[in-house]
Amino acid sequence: MRRICVFLGSNAGRRPAYREAAAALGRALAEQGIGLVYGGSSVGLMGVLADAALAAGGEVIGIIPQRLVDKEVAHHGLADLRIVTSMHERKAQMAELADAFVALPGGAGTLEELFEVWTWAQLGNHTKPCAVLDVEGYYHSLLTFLDHTVEEGFMRREHRDMLVVADSPAELLGKLAAYRAPTVTKWIDGHER
């Protein structure tokens, strides 16, 4: 695994554990020689993650739309900061550069990015692992809801299980390295169109 794309908050959240987890993941990636691809911001958990990876000697690629550069949130300490024209272009480049995707705590943007790449995996567009680092149970309610989607017949169990869940960076990186994508169709009733 050469690079991992991390989706996470541009805010830091209320708990110190969120910042600690972002810093720990940044250091762990650098220590294992795995490059970081992320949204290119200097603020919130995004800045904490990038700063920790950089301080540990890691490769960090930031991809940020010009609109956010104009709002002065770009991380100008990156050797590789790629400025793009839109969020769509940002996500496409992030997906192309990464061998896996991880979500740390974050808001709607974090969830949207995770769900998009996970949906692509379910459709067979890629076989890259998608994961959440569940810091202090941040994703517990979401994971319970996803189990509910399986119970209600809207998702296969195999596809629900594609979302790797870990509580620590070490556990996360181990699970990502061991990941193998399932080979089942997305549609439960078998009526592919």
Between the alpha carbon of residue 13 and those of residues 21, 114, 148, 183, the distances in Å are: 12, 18, 27, 37
Between the alpha carbon of residue 24 and those of residues 65, 93, 109, 126, 178, the distances in Å are: 26, 25, 22, 28, 21
What lies within 8 Å, CB to CB, of 28 at 6+ separation is 169, 170, 173
pLDDT, tens digit, for every residue of 162-191? Answer: 999 999 999 999 999 999 988 766 665 654
pLDDT, tens digit, for every residue of 85-111? Answer: 999 999 999 999 999 999 999 999 999
| Structural domains of the chain ordered from first start | 3-177 (3.40.50.450)
Torsion sign (Cα): 7, 13, 15, 16:
positive
Burial (CB < 10 A; 0-12, 13-18, 19+), residue 49, is buried
Q: What is the mean pLDDT of residues 17-33?
A: 98
pLDDT, tens digit, for every residue of 124-165? Answer: 899 999 999 999 999 999 999 999 999 999 999 999 999 999
For residue 190, the model assigns a pLDDT of 54
Name the average pLDDT for the chain.
Answer: 94
In this predicted structure, the answer to whether residue 18 has a pLDDT above a threshold of 50 is: yes
